[in-house]
Amino acid sequence: MVVEVGILTVSTQCSKGAANDTSGPALEALLCQEDKQQWRICERKIVPDDKQQISAIVSAWSLRCRLIIVSGGTGISPSDVTIEAIEPLFTKRLPALATAMVVGSLTITPFAALSQVAAGVIGQTVVLAVPGSKKGSVENVQQVLKVLPHAVDTAAATEGTRHLHAPSGKVKSKVACNCSRPEDQEDQNIGVHGLSNDLGISVSRRARRSPYPMIPVAKALQLVLDHVKLLPIKRLLLNQISYGQILAEDVIAQENVPGYPASIMDGYAMIAADGPGVFAVRSALTAGSANLEGSEMLKSGEVVRVATGAPIPPGADAVVMVEDTELVTSDANGEEQQVRILASKEPIVQGQNIRPIGHDLRAETVVLRAGTQISEIGGEIGTMAISGNKEFAVYAMPRIAVMSTGDEVVDVLNTSQPHSSLAYGCIRDSNRPALLAALHALGCQTMDLGVVRDDPDLLSHTIRSSLQSCDGLISTGGVSMGERDWLKPVVEQRLGGTIHFGRVAMKPSKPTTFATVPSQSDSRDRFVFALPGNPVSALVAFHMFVAPALRMISGYLIDNTVADVTSKLRPSVQAEFIDQSVQLDRVRPEYIRGVLAWDHERKVWVVSMTDHKQQSSRIASMQSANALISLPIGTNERPSITTGETVTVIVIGTPLI
C-alpha cells in the first residue's frame, strides 16, 4: 500500500530564497531509499517561521496525507514556533514516538537535548516535528522509521486494530509485533478526532449521548467572541461603501465648507448699515459664480442680486431675502435697475443670511469618528462626500455562506424546480431564506449554498470550497445525535477544524455548534456556526451568537466607548412582562419570542409574547418578534413568570415606539 506523505520545511531564510533547503530533500531521499513502493511524497512546501501558516498547512495536509514530517522551528529560540503551531491540532499525542526520536538522537549528539521534537495524530494522519538541519532531521526520523508504517496503519484503523495486532499465523501484518489482545478486549473507542463520532464507524458503535459538554450561554458567547477576528480594513471610494459598514479611521475635513462666504437664500447682498430704501442693482450672482477676489467693492447705495449658495460680493455684509423687496425700475430687457428694500420689524444686521467660511465643516477637523456606522439615512455618506476626501478606511463587510442540510429538506428558493406538493416525510426549507434575510438586514454579503444532502463527502466539499471566498458559514440541521448528523465529524475530521462548543444550556437551540477552520489562503481562521434544524431554534441561535459575532468582526467595538461589550454586540433592556403567566423550565434558561414596546404614559418598556405556542418548530412564533424574552431556570420558590414582573429582553429588531 502506498502512503501519501507531506514534507514541510519551516525556515524564514529558505522561504525568502536566502538559503537552500537541505532537510526536505534529505528526508525525501531517506523515505524513497527505504521503500520506493511504500512512501509517495505528495506535498512539499517551505514556509517561514509563522505559527498561523504552519498550522494552516499541516491542518490542510492532514486531509490528504497519511504522514506529515515538519522539519525546522523546533529549537528553543523565540522564533521557533513549530511545536506551538502543530501540537494544538493533535487529536492524539504520541509521546513514546517523540521520546524514541530524542533518545536515539542523543546517542549521536548531546545537542539533541535542545530540540523540541513532537509526534501525534491529526484525525487519521501521523505527524512528526523534527529539527531543521539536514543531519538532525534525518537522524530523528531514522530512529522511528521501522515503526512508522505500523503507526500509519494504526492511526487509520477506523474499524479497530485487532487485525493489525493479531499473531502472524492469523493475519499477516506489515510490521511484526507482539501486542495481540484477547477477543474480549476489542477496541471500543469511539471518535478519532476531537469529540465527534468517527465518520468511518457503524451506527451501532456511535455514541448515544452527546460527548459535548452543555455550556452556559454567557460562556458560549465569550468563546465565539474570543475566536472571531476583525475583518481587514479597506480603503474604498465613496460609491463602494455600503450601509452597515464601520469607519476604521477618523474622517478629517480637507477643506472649509463653504470655502467662501455664501448666501443662505435668494435675495440681495448689501451693506447692513444702509438700512431700508431704494438701491441700484449692480449685478447678479448665482451659485457657482467665478472667483470674486479682486473685484470692485460694493458701494453704499448698491446691492447685488444673489442666489442661494452664491458667494457674497466684496464689501457686502448682509443678505435681504427677495420677499422683503420690491421692484422699482427695470431696463428694456427686463433687467432690474432699482429695487426697494422694505422696512421690517427687525433691523438689518451684519452677517444676516450669510454662511461664513467653514460654517458647516472646518478644514483639518474630525467630522466623523472611527467606529461610526454608515446608516441607511444618508447623513454619514453626505458628510463624507463633502469632506474633500477621495477614499475612506472602513472595515470589510462579512461575506457569509448559508446552507441548509437534510435529505428531507425541499429547497423553496430553487426556481428551476417546479413548485409541487411535498412528498411524504419532507419539509420545505424555511431556515435558509430566514437566515439570508437576517444577514442582509445586518448589511452582510451572502453566498447561497442551497440545500445539501446528508452526505459527508458532499458536506465537506461544500464547506471547504465556500470558505475559500467567505469569512464564515452558517448551516442548519445535522448537529444533534441522529444517524445522519454529520456536521461535527465533517468539521473535525475532514476540515481539520476545532469545535469550541457543541451544546449550549438554553431552550431552544441546545445543539448550537461553533467551530473554526484553518484557512488555506491566509492566517485568519474561518468560522462555522452549525445551527439546529428547527426553524425557531436556528433563528434564536442566530440572534444570540451569530449576529454578535458579525458585529464584532465588522468593527462595532472600534470606538472603545462601551464598557460592557455584550451590550454593544447584543443589546438588551429591562422590561415589564404584560402577558399571561409562563411556567419556567427547570433545566435550562429559555428564550421566548416577544414584542417590545415603549409605554409612553408610564415611561417604561413593556413586553409580551408573540404567540402562546412557542415550540421550536413553529416559525410563526417569530412573526412580529423584535425581542427575545430571557427567562431564568425555574425553582420551587419561583416556578413561573407572572404579569407585572421585570424581565431581561434581548433586542433583535426595532422596538415599537
Higher pLDDT, 91 or 541: 541
Q: What is the pLDDT of residue 423?
A: 82
pLDDT tens figures, 260-285: 999 999 999 999 999 999 999 988 88
For residues 383 and 252, what is the distance between their CA atoms, to the nearest angstrom?
10
Architecture of domain 233-256+362-395: Alpha-Beta Complex (3.90)
What local confidence, expressed as pLDDT, does residue 186 receive? 30
pTM: 0.65
What Cα–Cα distance (Å) separates residue 360 from each residue in 40, 53, 247, 253? 70, 49, 21, 10
- Mean pLDDT over 104-120 rounds to 75
pLDDT category at 369 given cuts 50, 70, 90 is: very high
Mean pLDDT to the nearest integer, 321-341: 93
What's the start-to-end Cα distance of the chain, in Å?
Answer: 71
Question: Is residue 464 scored above 60 in pLDDT?
Answer: yes
Mean pLDDT of the chain, nearest integer = 86
Domain ranges in the chain? 3-156, 217-229+398-553, 233-256+362-395, 262-355, 571-651
* Least confident piece of the model among 31-45, 91-105, 529-543, 642-656: 31-45
Q: What is the pLDDT of residue 305?
A: 94
- 125 φ, ψ (degrees, to nearest 5): -115, 130
CATH code that applies to domain 571-651: 2.40.340.10
Assigned CATH for 262-355: 2.170.190.11
Asked, colleague to colleague, whether 3-156 and 217-229+398-553 share their fold, the answer is yes
Residue 584 has pLDDT above 70, yes or no: yes
Percent of residues, the chain, with pLDDT higher than 70: 87
**Nearest Cα to Cα of residue 7 among 149, 157, 138:** 138
Handedness of CA 291, 293, 295, 300 (dihedral sign): positive
Which residues, at least 6 apart from 222, have a Cβ–Cβ distance to it below 8 Å? none
Quick one: pLDDT at residue 503?
A: 92
Has residue 36 got a pLDDT over 60?
A: no
- Topology (CATH level 3) of domain 217-229+398-553: Molybdenum Cofactor Biosythetic Enzyme; Chain A (3.40.980)
In this predicted structure, what is the pLDDT of residue 294?
Answer: 56
| CATH no. of 3-156 | 3.40.980.10
In eight-state DSSP terms, residue 247 is B
* The pLDDT value given to residue 627: 95
> What pLDDT shows up at residue 207?
63
Local confidence band at 194 (pLDDT 50, 70, 90 cut-offs): low
Average pLDDT over residues 76-92: 89
Percent of the chain residues topping a pLDDT of 90: 57
User: pLDDT for 587-636, tens place per residue?
Assistant: 999 999 999 999 999 999 999 998 777 667 677 778 889 999 999 999 99
Say which range, 301-305, 486-490, 616-620, has the weakest mean pLDDT: 616-620
* Mean pLDDT, residues 93-120 taken together: 80
Q: What does DSSP say about strands 640-641 and 604-609: parallel, antiparallel, or unpaired?
A: unpaired
Q: Give the residue among 602, 657, 600, 604 at the shortest CA–CA distance from 626.
A: 657
**Residue 102 cell numbers, joined:** 530524542
User: Does pLDDT of 173 surpass 70?
Assistant: no
pLDDT band per the 50, 70, 90 thresholds, residue 483 = low
Buried b (16+ CB within 10 A) or exposed e, 279-316: bebeeebeeebeebeeeeebeeebbbbbbebbbbbebb
Query: In the predicted model, is pLDDT for residue 528 greater than 90?
Result: yes
- pLDDT category of residue 201 using cuts at 50, 70 and 90: low
Type and span of the H or E element at 648 = strand 646-651
More confident residue, 99 or 178: 99
> 399 φ, ψ to 5°?
-110, 115
Model confidence over 43-68: pLDDT tens digits?
899 999 998 889 888 888 888 889 99
Instruction: Find out whether 67 and 2 touch, Cβ atoms under 8 Å.
Output: no
